[in-house]
Structure 1
């Protein structure tokens, strides 16, 4: 049984046990939740303690890898530019689609209120500062203080400045620092693996409290959450088809056939890396030169997270809506940028591993609480399938677009040589 499946079963078991406790032994709710609540909160704290060092190291290593890829050659540079445009567009789509879906199919007020009252560790929403104060606070006067207070936007700005400055120093020193932050990143991933190993205990405790206090409405709310976030991911995923048709000049039928084996691997493994051989075969079937696909597809697996910004931002917007946090256009714009940047440094691992570290900074940027993520991570299995499916399809669609561009450039060069001759 996979780790994500164990956590999902623990969630269902905890909710069922909590609902039964509330229905058959209401007098025991307070004593039982008094024991379960600290256990669940301790597990959530353990998950959150890795966020700051992991996000910082991911941004530094992610920017370094992106910069090195862009400098590796013209094709790699064009690939990186296209990936950044796709990821920015993905986050912007979430800012438009998620509020729309929540208006079309809103979460019932009773369920939302019950869940708000049931979740522990959620303080009052912070007051939104005036625009001038917000802009001034983006650049921190004390990065250590800002990091300690989980001011993720300030930390991200500093991490980006640090990473870009890192690319300008002596190569030997640059490699040393990149290796250091790579070691920090990998160490934090090991710690997260340990925390997730005991995740069934923590999730069961959190779900028990929620089930006892919120009743059966908790199930409805979680299903509503899964469908809303997955719907945003599905829209982004489906846009890979017109991208391949318009950018890569391939027919819908041909692209659908070529991407089908990759889709099967993506659904079964939830890993873009495992889908790479099938994607290479699909690109060859569609006529992409081996020299092009051999560069762009591994680069896409390493850097492109087409569905990540959209679905991460959708989760943050959902939590904000859930807890009544107002979202202005300016707030959504900030969230769009943070969602893209945090996805840029994300690693090719199942969503349960990088879930909190990728979404907590986005929640902080728009003023939404991060505590609900400890419960929502338990139902990440289905959304993670959509994430991986979309990433694989966009990897192949962008490869065909880049291959078409390379072919066009070669044709232009050949024509110029003929004219000169």
Structure 2
């Protein structure tokens, strides 16, 4: 009797676990939010779940730097032609730019039409405006000078310890290209070490993802309790526009995958399930990077240049969501404060979301705070950024979903499968 049976991908069961954890946690959290004053039991439960969820996210993020560094080194220095790797990088940035321009045009047109239908209650908007709080960083913290200098760390080890991925990626790329120039014997020894390290870290990632159902359930319960079911009025409208346009943009990427013919939509979705749910639960595309690499390797069978070079690069510098939510946020704040946002100013917001996408500062809410000078230049109140930050919890889940999907799409478009199967 044959022992051969269809081998089920471990990502399939993990994807189901984290999806059920997300749904179950949000549902439980919304039920708990109905208590006007949380009981001692509810408070203790939420505190415990917050610790569990945060610990799991920390465990996932713990694997990012030890996984990214060897993958980048092997992906660049392990190739036969360094110029070919440079070409892959150029193609990746080309696809990033295409997606940014397309999403900026789509969002500015769709959101402006949608916001024309919004009529706000003056009393409600007054309360919402009064709740705005924002600690605007110094102009130097958001300057081009600071951003450029931050890319060159005085101590790359400290940069890795601080979790600032982009400087680490740039240093690792420099090291990898230099390694590609040394003699075969020392280069081969280092590549063997880093291949072994990458393979080991992928096993660690698999262990972390195996606990994903518990971690996501804990995070989602706390999130659901904070959000509750009160998504009405101006806030509800903002949530709906933001979430729907992000979902449409995400669906558009799946359509582009179908037309590309490089991988099947089914495989693309299957490879993304764990990374997508981890990303939505943690609201961090960086935290979902290990799961993306795993899906791209195990399901899509993408080559090392895609899994070890393109995906870490995208997670470091590419935030497609900026091209969607910058226009939405500007229109919402304009409505909230009774300001007429001209077509020219909206076009400036859309263009800025593309041009400044790769320069998001490495500070909390950096993508939003980067808009402070922009808001001042087009006549929108800067304190409106504080409202957007306060309302970002729920939309940020769908922003991360779009970012993760876009990262995988760029990897697919810049690298062919290493095996010809469709499994």
- Please give the TM-score of this superposition, normalised by the length of structure 1: 0.54
Q: State the 1:247 CA deviation.
A: 3.1
Give distance in 2, aligned partners of 1:179 and 1:151: 17
In 2, the alpha carbon distance for the partners of 1:406 and 1:366 equals: 49
Once the two structures are superposed, residues 216-265 of structure 1 have per-residue CA deviations (whole angstroms, 9 ceiling, x without a partner) of: x9963222222222222222222221122223532222222221111121
Give the corresponding residue for 2:327. Answer: 313
Q: Which moved more, 1:108-117 or 1:226-235?
A: 108-117
1:188-207 equivalence runs, <5 A:
none
Q: Say which of 81, 89, 95 aligns to 2:108.
A: 95
* CA RMSD after TM alignment: 4.5
The match for 1:328 among 330, 342, 358 is: 342
* Separation in 2, partners of 1:218, 1:176: 39
What residue number does 2:235 align with? 222
Deviation, 1:373, is 2.5
Q: Distance in 1 between matches of 2:261 and 2:320?
A: 17
2:376 paired with 1:364: yes
Residue aligning to 1:259 = 272
Shift of 1:360: 2.3
Q: How does 1:156-195 map to 2 (within 5 A)?
A: 159=144, 178-179=152-153
Q: Indicate the SS of the match to 1:273.
A: coil
Any idea what the Cα deviations from partners look like across 1:158-207, whole Å, max 9, x if unmatched? x38x98xx8xxxxxxxx89844799xx99x999xxxxxxxxxxxxxxxxx
Alpha-carbon offset, residue 316 of structure 1: 1.7
Given that 2:280 and 2:400 are in contact with CA atoms closer than 8 Å, whether structure 1 keeps it comes out as: yes
Structure 1 stretch displaced more, 353-362 or 227-236: 353-362
Question: Alpha-carbon deviation of 1:353?
Answer: 3.2
Tell me how far apart the structure 1 counterparts of residues 127 and 268 of structure 2 sit (CA, whole Å): 43
| Contact 1:262–1:275, Cα closer than 8 Å, also in 2 | yes
Q: How does 1:4-403 map to 2 (within 5 A)?
A: 73-104=86-117, 106-110=118-122, 114-115=126-127, 118=130, 159=144, 178-179=152-153, 220-247=233-260, 249-284=262-297, 285-346=299-360, 353-354=365-366, 356-403=368-415
- Alpha-carbon distance change, 346 to 176 in structure 1, aligned in 2, over 3 angstroms: closer
In structure 2, the CA distance between the partners of 1:248 and 1:347, relative to structure 1 (3 Å rule), is: farther
Q: Which runs of 5+ in 1 are unaligned?
A: 1-8, 18-68, 123-146, 167-174, 191-216, 408-421
Higher helix share: 1
Question: Quick check: 288-297 or 260-269, which moved more?
Answer: 288-297
Q: Distance in 2 between matches of 1:78 and 1:281?
A: 22
Distance in 2 (CA, whole Å) between partners of 1:75 and 1:366 is 38
Looking at structure 2, the residues matched to 355 and 75 of structure 1 have their Cα atoms a distance apart, in angstroms, of 26
> Residues 107 and 327 of structure 2 are in contact (CA less than 8 Å); yes or no, is this contact kept in structure 1?
yes
Tell me the distance in 1 between the aligned counterparts of 2:388 and 2:130: 14
Partner Cα distance (2:372, 2:403) in 1: 21
The answer to whether the Cα contact below 8 Å between 1:316 and 1:362 also exists between their aligned partners in 2 is no
Measure, in 1, the Cα distance between the counterparts of 2:269 and 2:151: 43
Q: Cα deviation per residue 1:55-108 (whole Å; 9 max; x = unaligned)?
A: xxxxxxxxxxxxxx999711111111221222233222221121122134x143
> C-alpha offsets along residues 303-356 of structure 1, whole Å, 9 cap, x if unaligned?
11111221133112210122222223221221112222333222678xx63254
